[in-house]
Structure formats: structure tokens, C-alpha cells
Amino acid sequence: MATASEIYLELVELSGHVVATGAWGATLRADCLYQSAHLAKPGHRCRLLQGTRTITPFTPLAALDLRSGTYIQVVWLSSSAADRHSQSMVFAAIKANGSVVTWGSSDHGGNSTAVAALLTEGIVQVCGNAGAFAAVMADGSVVTWGHAVSGGNSSAVAPLLTEGVVQVS
């Protein structure tokens, strides 16, 4: 049961399937809801709606209108043409246990050995380009690898990638 400082919500797909249910702290932002949805379908992008209102990751949970109910609609997004292009020389797969396996040309990000210990669990999304990958973790942090010039070295923005990230593209 939710306390006064918590908000009870259910994340529900269009089919009626409940993706997540629970009580979240009223002081949190909706990125925690996105993280819960991504745990249900690692690697998939989604949008959260309350009625006709889009809930962004930055929406404070306290700002949600609970008079109409505690249901949040989860809409899974299909890949765009830009997301579907093949890197042709390298692949990354998210396994059911939340780990990532990479293979292919090490010149194009296929060698994740340097960050392998960070890719063993909790990955909810992987995004790649022609030379690097970024993985969003369940805790909202990001791990990158591959060629530095292609984005594999995120040290310049590392403090911004330690929490609260719900999607990379």
C-alpha cells in the first residue's frame, strides 16, 4: 500500500497487459517509470501516456493527475528507419538476463572487452553507430565502448551519464 509520500501506479500496455505495478516516491521523476518499463522489454523504446498527456522522463510524479486513475499507458515504439540500418560489421545482443554480447569487427565497436564487466546484467537498451555503442543500464547509467571518435569514449560527459538516462539514440 502506498504511503502519503508514495504514488501507486500501474504501467499498462494497449493490450491490457500490466508491465509494472508499484509505489514510487512522490518526489521522483518519471524516469523511474521508464526504467521499469524498459526492464519489461529490454532494448525497446516506449512512450508513457496518461490520457492524452505524454509523460516525459523529467515529469515529476507529483505532477501526475491521479483523479482519473492510477493507470499509465505504455506505448511501445517501432524502430525508425534510422534505427533499422545495419552496422554490417558488428552486432550487439541483449540477452534475457540483461547482459550484452557483442561480436564483429573490433574496428567498429564489436570488441567490448574493456567494459565487459559492466555488461553482465541490467542492460535495457543498446544503441550503436558505425564505430561505437552505448548501453543504458537499469539504474539509468550509460556504458560506452568502441572508437573514441565515434562516441565510444564518453569521459567528457561521464558525470551526466551516471543516472537518469532512459534512452540513447
Instruction: Convert the pLDDT of each residue in 114-163 to its tens digit.
Output: 999 999 988 888 888 888 999 988 888 999 999 999 999 999 999 999 98
* pLDDT the model gives residue 88: 63
Indicate if the pLDDT at residue 53 is higher than 90. no
- The reported pTM is 0.60
Regarding the domain delimited by 6-77, which CATH topology (the fold level of the hierarchy) does it fall under?
Answer: Ubiquitin-like (UB roll) (3.10.20)
pLDDT number for residue 84: 44
Q: Assess whether pLDDT exceeds 70 at residue 15.
A: yes
Which segments of the chain belong to CATH 3.10.20.90?
6-77
Quick one: average pLDDT of 89-96? 84
Q: Is 62 helix (H, G, I), strand (E, B) or coil?
A: helix
Tell me, what's the pLDDT at 115? 95
Q: Which amino acid is at 169?
A: S
Determine the Cα–Cα distance for residues 75 and 12; give it in Å rounded to an integer.
Answer: 9
pLDDT at 83 over 50: no
Residue where the block lists cell 545495419: 86
pLDDT surpasses 80 at 80? no
What CA–CA distances, in Å, run from 128 to 46, 84, 87, 146, 167?
A: 18, 11, 8, 9, 12
Please, where are the H alpha helices in 18-110?
31-40, 81-84
Q: CA–CA distance from 137 to each of 57, 85, 122, 126 (Å)? A: 15, 23, 5, 9
pLDDT of residue 82: 41
Average pLDDT of the chain is 86
